Amino acid sequence: MSVQSIEGNNWKQLRYYLDFPRQILNYSQKKVAQYGANYTAFAFFMTFHYMIPFFMRTQVSVESMYAWLLIIKLIGASLCVGLLLKHYWPSNLVSYFPLYWHFTLLYCVPFSFTLVFLINGSGVEWLVNISLGITLLIVLVDWITFLILSILGTTLGLLFYVQFIGALPLLDIYSLYTLSYVFLASLSIGLIFARRKEQSFDLLLLQNQQLSEAQQKNREELIETLKYRQQLLQELKPEEVAIFDEVTTSYMKQAIYRMTDYMRLDVTSVTLDDLQQALVDLYKYKLQTPDQPEILFKKDTNQTVLQADFVKLKQLLLNSISYVQQYNTSHSPIIVAIEDAWLGHEIAHMQNYTRKLEALRITITIEPSVPPTQPLYKIDPAKSSTWVPQHEDEFLLIENARIIDAHYGYIATKSTHTQMYVLPVKLREIRGKVMELIKEPAAAVPEEVNHPLAIQLEQELMERLRDTEVDICVIQKGLDIIKRYHGGVKRKSGEPFFTHPMTVALILLEYSQDQDAILGALLHDTVEDTSLSLTHIRMIFGKTVEFLVAKATNLEDHKRRVSLTDQENLARILNYEDPRAALIKLSDRLHNMRTIQFHSSVAKRKHISQETLDHFVPLARKLGLEKMAAELEQLSNEVVNKK
């Protein structure tokens, strides 16, 4: 063999040994990232364990041994304190924490337990201690690391004892048998459970990998969808495409929203304490990394409960933390600040009015301070906050934008260091339950269509329209629509819901034979209670019917429908602009008053009746509908004066 070959082999061996510490560090980092490091509980347990068994002396005659016991335990306790102080480590040392964790395990469990066993004369109580050590190590690491630490720690413990303390104690046959039995039994059980635990982790890792691949595929599909949406919206600009009229353009925009941006929510009341705990758990188990920074919560609010989709809200916050953590090179603590704020939006047909909603501003930042809160954050329910992502890390923000839009919130900041969102406290005040029905299929129920009352009302309506100028075919189309879209829904009286708009249309016929008004009466609850939109109504029945339904309904129909308060509804009705809109609302109120006894709440019945006396009776008289005003007044007084 040539001299050059020998030198080359020596150089390779030297490089291998020089690189060996790096390989150990990489191994530790990989295992901790994969299986975690429950260092806090371990540190407290071991510190406690070092103190309690100190009185268990089995070799009273050898007092010099206790100096060694004290030294061993003090070193172990010091290493555990280092674990507890992890959050105070310098940022340049945090990456070495996994190696420190495994070294502490090596010292505190197999190494020190071996020494303590030998020093104390191999008593039965210390055999139990060894069994405890094996079990503890099994719980904390995977089975390969368990074998490495156990063999290496025990070997080093034996060598240290022989080198510095004394000769190994001679054990009798019974002690050797007991030690072997305890060791092998604990080891066998340990390997079984450690392997099962590792298999569970491996399965979880595989599932996470498959989930990541699925998410990547979904992201690619989302990019294509968003690009296609952007292309369609550009093509739908009136100045660029003349073949589409305004209604078709509006309808296509709405369809695009429902296909790409709409998100169904499972709205519940979420306490801020539950949200904080859930986020801590998710952060701990889903984003665990060797250099994971601390998460700090700051709450400056009197609110304790938030209406939201709990799962999506947690995902929103976790996405934000993941995003800013990518740019957290200094390993600064991640601050989650929750503060009181106000959301606002305008309402059509109400000039110089901005509706205000109690809100919470949630800030996720790695900056040392949180920006001040603005007096009002204004949202536009007709617009979407999503965009076509240009970079891989924007997908988290895209998902957040969709969640914020679904919660009628506001994106205040979306920088690499700070994510800031404003969410309404009472989501159901602005996002009605009808939003969860947007993609529900509409289908008539045969049993309801053939209900005796439904047949009777339809026959009566057609009979009364026979000698008028109203187009019966158009009215029939309206009837078919309410049967489909209100299908499966009952009134409090137990009758099919669509019999209510039929009755409203019959009441209206006593005062007007206007075709658009009759259609408005038939359709007045569709936008509020079903997936049918004003744009859809306009395409089928025209702009006037759309306007009348919009004035009569209790919400605004944008891409995201907005529920209105009673006061806002009254203000819109009193500013009716078209007497037919007021007539539809009055006819609706009259039928509701005729059937008010089916309301289970006495307080609700009295509230509706008093509201009728205060606003609807004067409105009827203003329009010259004295007969309707008198009946509304009589029905309302009967409820209000009833004791």
Burial class of 372 by CB neighbour count within 10 A (0 to 12, 13 to 18, 19+): exposed
Which whole number is the average pLDDT over 470-498? 92
Mean residue pLDDT across the chain = 81
Which range among 97-106, 159-168, 599-608 shows the weakest confidence by mean pLDDT?
159-168
* pLDDT tens digits, 440-458: 777 888 999 999 999 999 9
Q: Are 461 and 475 in contact (CB under 8 A)?
A: yes
**What pLDDT was estimated at residue 112?**
86
Instruction: Specify whether the backbone of 533 is left (phi greater than 0), alpha (psi in -120 to 50) or beta.
Output: beta
| CA–CA dist 430, 541 (Å, integer) | 28
**Separation of alpha carbons 358 and 423, rounded Å:** 9
Over residues 383-414, the pLDDT tens digits come to: 777 665 566 667 778 888 889 988 999 999 88
> Which helix or strand (DSSP H or E) is residue 337 part of?
strand 334-346
CA distance linking residue 316 with residue 322, whole number of Å: 10
Rounded to whole angstroms, how far apart are CA atoms 276 and 360? 14
Distance CA 255, CA 251 (A): 6
Percent of the chain residues past pLDDT 70, beyond the cut = 77
- d(CA 552, CA 525) in angstroms, rounded, equals 8
Report the C-alpha gap between 469 and 93 in whole angstroms: 87
Cross-strand partners of 258:
none
- Residue 531 near residue 254, CB atoms below 8 Å: no
SS3 assignment, position 488: coil
Dump pLDDT digits (tens) for 215-232: 555 556 556 665 655 555
* H or E stretch covering 358: strand 354-365
pLDDT confidence bin for 381, thresholds 50/70/90: confident
**pLDDT score at 20:** 78
List, in order, residues 6 or more apart from 208 with CB less than 8 Å away: none
Q: How does pLDDT run across 185-215, given as a tens digit for each residue?
A: 556 655 555 555 555 556 555 555 554 555 5
Give me the residue label for tokens 């080891």. 187
Q: Enumerate the β-bridge partners of residue 418.
A: 365
Q: Please give the Cα distance from 144 to 371 (Å, whole number).
A: 49
Place of tokens 């690499």: 416
pLDDT at 549: 93
Kindly tell me if the per-residue pLDDT of 366 is higher than 60. yes
Assess contact for 118 and 169: CB atoms under 8 A: yes
Task: Indicate the length of the chain as a whole number.
Answer: 643
pLDDT of residue 568: 82
What is residue 162's predicted lDDT score, i.e. its pLDDT?
A: 85
342: β partners: 358
Fold: same for 266-430 and 439-640: no
Q: Name residues whose C-beta falls within 8 Å of residue 486's C-beta, 6 or more positions apart in sequence.
A: 496, 497, 498, 501, 525, 526, 529, 530
SS3 sequence of 158-219: HHHHHHHHCCCCCCCHHHHHHHHHHHHHHHHHHHHHHHHHHHHHHHHHHHHHHHHHHHHHHH
For the chain, the domains span: 3-205, 266-430, 439-640
On whether the CB atoms of residues 327 and 417 are closer than 8 A, the answer is yes
Assign 53 to helix, strand or coil.
helix
Two tokens, residue 377: 């954050």
- Please count the other Cβ atoms lying within 10 Å of the Cβ belonging to residue 412: 18
3-state SS, residue 472: helix
| Rg (alpha carbons) of the chain, rounded to whole number | 37
Bridge partners (DSSP) of residue 335 are 296, 365
pLDDT of residue 606: 92
280 versus 593: the higher-pLDDT residue is 593
CA distance 55 to 277: 40
Q: Where are the alpha helices (DSSP H) in 236-382?
A: 246-260, 272-286, 310-326
Superfamily of structural domain 266-430: Histidine kinase-like ATPase, C-terminal domain (3.30.565.10)
pLDDT in tens, 537-581: 998 899 999 999 988 887 776 777 788 877 888 887 888 788 999
Of 312, 251, 347, give the one whose Cα is nearest residue 562.
Answer: 347
Q: Examine the pLDDT at 307 and tell me if it is beyond 80.
A: yes
Q: Are 623 and 583 in contact (CB under 8 A)?
A: yes
Task: Give pLDDT, residue 362.
Answer: 95
pLDDT of 148 strictly over 60: yes
Identify the CATH assignment for 439-640 out of 3.40.50.300, 3.40.120.10, 1.10.3210.10, 1.20.140.10: 1.10.3210.10
- 60 falls in which pLDDT band (50, 70, 90)? very low
Note the pLDDT of residue 61.
47
Burial call 415-443: b when 16+ CB within 10 Å, e when fewer: eeebbbbbbbbebebbbbebbebbeeebe
- The predicted model gives 606-625 an average pLDDT of 92
Q: How far apart are CA 90 and CA 331, in angstroms?
A: 9
Report CA-CA distances (Å) from 404 to 224, 320, 411, 543: 21, 12, 7, 32
Q: Which helix (DSSP H) or strand (DSSP E) does residue 345 occupy?
A: strand 334-346
Q: Which residues contact 299 (CB under 8 A, 6 or more apart)?
A: 272, 337, 338, 339
What secondary structure letter does DSSP report for 490? B
Q: Are 389 and 226 in contact (CB under 8 A)?
A: yes
